[in-house]
Each structure stands twice: as C-alpha cells, then as structure tokens.
Amino acid sequence: MALAAAAGGHGGLLLVAAGACAAVAIFGLLVFESTVRRDHHERHDNPHLLSDSYVDDQLWKAVISARDRDTPKDR
C-alpha cells in the first residue's frame, strides 16, 4: 500500500501505510522474541509459536516402545 500511495502522489497515505507496515513488523518480532524468551525460561529447545503444549517425555517413550514392539523382528 505504501508503494501504491507513493506512486500516486499521496504523501499522507504513504506515511499511514508505512507506519502500519512497520507496526506489524515490530509486533511480529516482539511475539517471536517473547516466545523464545518463555521457551528458554521453561528450558525448551526451540520456539513453539503455534502450540502451548509440549509432548510428555514418558508418553513419547511409550509410543516409541509400542511402535518397536509392533514392528516385525525379521526385517
């Protein structure tokens, strides 16, 4: 929108569109940074932006062992 406003000679709209673009970019960076900070505080390895839940280690080990029991042994 900022480029279209600049091409059309609308200086006021150019400032509004550029400000909105900058605000969205800054907000996105703040969300990402706060998620990384929280994950590090809770001792998680990677940022999880779309999920508030984490896989339980005991459950994951049970799934792996059940999968290993169900696979044929003669492979």
Q: What is the pLDDT of residue 26?
A: 97
Whether the pLDDT of residue 42 is over 90: the answer is: no
Q: Model confidence at 38, in pLDDT bands (50, 70, 90)? A: confident
Q: What is the pLDDT of residue 23?
A: 97
Write down the mean pLDDT value for the chain: 81
Q: Give tens-digit pLDDT for 11-26.
A: 888 899 999 999 999 9
Is the separation of the CB atoms in 5 and 19 below 8 Å? Answer: no
Is the separation of the CB atoms in 31 and 23 below 8 Å? Answer: no
DSSP 20-45: HHHHHHHHHHHHHHHHHHHHHHTT-S
Is the separation of the CB atoms in 23 and 14 below 8 Å? Answer: no
The structure tokens 């706060």 sit at: 34
pTM confidence score: 0.51
